[in-house]
Homo-oligomer: A and B are copies of this chain.
Amino acid sequence: MTVTIIGLGLIGGSLALDLKARRFADRVIGVDNSPQHRDQALERGLVDEVMTLHTGIQEADLIVLAIPVDAIKELLPLVLDYVTHQTVTDLGSSKSEIIESVSAHPKRGNYVPSHPMAGTEFSGPAAAVNGLFAKKVGIICDMAESNPKALEMVTNMYMAVNMRLVFMSAREHDHHAAYVSHISHLTSFALALTVLDKERNEKNIFNLASGGFDSTVRLAASSASMWVPVFSQNKNNVVEVISTYIEKMTAFKEAIASGDAKQVENLILEANIIQKTLNQFS
Q: A121 within 8 Å of B by Cβ? A: yes
Selected from B224, B245, B257, the residue in CB contact (under 8 A) with A194 is B245
Selected from B184, B213, B235, B257, the residue in CB contact (under 8 A) with A217 is B184
Collect the chain B residues with CB atoms within 8 Å of residue A221's CB.
272, 274-275
Q: A280 within 8 Å of B by Cβ? A: yes
Cα separation A270 to B193 with both chains bound (whole Å): 7
Cα separation A195 to B237 with both chains bound (whole Å): 13
Collect the chain B residues with CB atoms within 8 Å of residue A177's CB.
208
Interchain CB contact under 8 A, A180 and B208: yes
Cα separation A196 to B241 with both chains bound (whole Å): 12
Cα separation A197 to B267 with both chains bound (whole Å): 12
Interface centre among A180, A204, A267 (most CB of B within 10 A): A180
Stretch with Cβ within 8 A of B (4 or more), from A12-20, A23-31, A98-106, A247-255: A247-255
Q: Given A194-B241, A264-B232 in contact, is the A187-B187 Cβ separation under 8 Å?
A: yes
Interchain CB contact under 8 A, B204 and A212: no
Name the CB-closest residue of B to A242.
B253
Q: A243 within 8 Å of B by Cβ? A: yes
Residues of A within 8 A of B (CB): 117-121, 136-137, 139, 166, 176-177, 179-181, 183-199, 202-224, 227-229, 231-232, 235, 238-239, 241-246, 248-253, 256-257, 259, 261, 264-265, 267-275, 277-278, 280-282
A-B contact pairs, 18 of them (CB 8 A): A120-B211, A180-B199, A180-B210, A184-B191, A193-B251, A193-B271, A196-B277, A206-B277, A206-B281, A223-B268, A224-B268, A224-B269, A228-B264, A231-B264, A232-B256, A232-B264, A239-B256, A243-B253
